[in-house]
Amino acid sequence: YQRSLVIACEVGNRAGEGVALSNLGDLDEELGRYEDARLHYEQALALCRQIGYRVGQAEALRGLGVVSGRLNRLDEALEHLRHAVALCHDLGERETEIRALLDLGDALHAAGRPDDALDRHRAALALAGETADSYALARALAAIAAVFRDTGETDGARQHWRQALALYTDLGMPQADEVRRQLATLDHDPELAPPAPTP
């Protein structure tokens, strides 16, 4: 990503520069470097606004929302994520809209608003179904399950986690292990849990 940023700057591809900055933000966020991620997203947002690249703006806003949530700035997170969802919807940018809806749902869940969280997660689930995005479907199902668990709706949680597990397993995704752990905790069945990693 650093190399792509350098190349984009060298050839004057400012949209590519914005994409590279957001990609660096995504990686920083995944590695827990939230302040670095915030800086990259802010740079991407400023650049994309300057050149009128609205898809890039939506991606940067979504990232800023996620990082704000990680830093417990929930009001800020909700504002960024709502803006990202609205912008994606206007642009017809469905892949980013799904991600932003899921992230918005997660932020609403963290803010103690489970009904609003479910609304956003279900909207993401519907869009993912229309686009046949199996990974997004699995993520939405798992997010719905987590809300159900925290509101005491155990049957709903179990049903959605089992659907998510089937999708993650078919995709060969590591998230399947976390879903198995959640189901094992829910059902108090240690046999459902994945084996412990070999030292």
Chain segment 2-12, per-residue pLDDT in tens: 999 899 889 99
CA distance 164 to 144: 10
What DSSP state is assigned to residue 193? S
Query: Is residue 90 helix, strand or coil?
Result: helix
CA distance 145 to 17: 37
Query: Is residue 123 helix, strand or coil?
Result: helix
- Per cent of the chain over pLDDT 70 is 94
Average pLDDT per consecutive 10 residues, the chain (199 residues; last block may be shorter): 91 94 96 96 97 96 97 96 97 95 97 97 97 96 97 96 97 96 80 47
Q: What is the pLDDT of residues 49-94, one digit of tens each?
A: 999 999 999 999 999 999 999 999 999 999 999 999 999 999 999 9
Contact 184, 195 (CB under 8 A): no
